[in-house]
Amino acid sequence: MSEVIVALDFSTEKEVVRFLRDFHEPIYTKVGMELLYAYGPQIIDVIQSLGHQVFLDLKLHDIPNTVQSAMKNLARLEVDMVNVHVAGGSKMMEAAIEGLESGTRPGMQRPTCIAVTQLTSTSQEMMQNELLIANSLDEVVLEYAKLAKNSHLDGVVCSVHEAKAIHANCGNDFLTITPGIRLANDSVDDQVRIATPVYAKEQGSDYLVIGRSITQSENPLETYQNIQKMLSV
């Protein structure tokens, strides 16, 4: 089943609350660094007190010990999903899971932990010339996904076009979280490798991260409900 995560890419708490006012049923939201750094963890309380789930998209990347301690603190916020960069290595990813487990209240489930393989802003050229990685982008994404799986993470952020190969190599239980979703009539904005919700579902994407197609639409609730309908067929 494919689920929608709405990216709350707003710059003020007021805009977040105004946007969520129409959503009476719980939804899965994504809070990124802009919002968290501007408002602190209270913004998570605000969203959770309205009954919504939170994917806290901070993409941690540091030495294992620091990531472990940071994840312990993030688990205490009782968010539903967090993430790291695969580039931090297997020890860092294992430390992230340990931190989350130690910060989770007894009897509660630890937050789902996923990893970023390569940012969508990274091109093949940039990877080779600046990061000195000679393999193709597709190979790197797949190998990074396998490393995340072997480090006990729950899944990866990837493009819709990579979801199938990742499931084939890492199993269907290994989650694929895919941004870059656009509705048929939308503008592409700054996304490059885009896909429609139905195509994302067909490719086996577990979570579709959708921002502007919903938040900037004339009637966000209606757009959200229409996407849900498309995915439930």
Q: Is 146 a catalytic residue?
A: no
216's torsion region: left (phi>0), alpha (psi -120 to 50) or beta?
alpha
Stretch of 18-26, 68-76, 145-153, 175-183 lying at the interface with ligand C5P (CB under 6 A)? 175-183
Instruction: Give the one residue of 96, 179, 201, 224 binding ligand C5P; rule: CB under 6 A.
Output: 179
- What residues contact residue 218 under an 8 Å CB cut-off, 6+ apart? none
Residue in 120, 123, 226, 228 binding ligand C5P, rule: CB under 6 A: 120
Of the candidates 189, 121, 132, the residue with the CA atom closest to the CA atom of residue 159: 121
Q: Looking at 6, 7, 79, 142, which residue binds ligand C5P (CB under 6 A)? A: 7
Q: Number of residues interacting with ligand C5P: please give it, by CB under 6 A.
A: 16
Q: Judged by CB under 6 A, does residue 166 bind ligand C5P?
A: no
- Alpha-carbon gap, residue 169 to 71, rounded angstroms: 27
Q: Does 157 bind ligand C5P (CB under 6 A)?
A: yes
Question: Is there a contact between 206 and 3 (Cβ–Cβ < 8 Å)?
Answer: yes
Q: Are 71 and 82 in contact (CB under 8 A)?
A: yes
Among the candidate windows 45-53, 60-68, 107-115, 206-214, which touches ligand C5P by CB under 6 A? 206-214
Helices 42-49 and 13-20: crossing angle, nearest 10°?
10
By C-beta, is 92 or 158 nearer to ligand C5P?
A: 158
Stretch that binds ligand C5P, among 11-19, 144-152, 162-170, 176-184 (CB under 6 A): 176-184
Residue 32 binds ligand C5P (CB under 6 A)? yes
CB of 10 or CB of 103, closer to ligand C5P: 10
Tokens of 225: 């409900």
**Which of 3, 9, 78, 94 is the binder for ligand C5P (CB under 6 A)?**
9
Exposed e or buried b per residue across 125-153, where buried means at least 16 C-beta atoms within 10 angstroms of its C-beta: eebeeeeebeeebeebbbebbebbbebeb
Among 63, 119, 168, 192, which residue sits at the site for ligand C5P (rule: CB under 6 A)? 119
Rg (CA), the chain: 17
What residue ranges bind ligand C5P (CB under 6 A)?
7, 9, 32, 119-120, 157, 179-181, 189, 191, 209-213
Q: Which residues does the annotation mark as catalytic?
A: 59
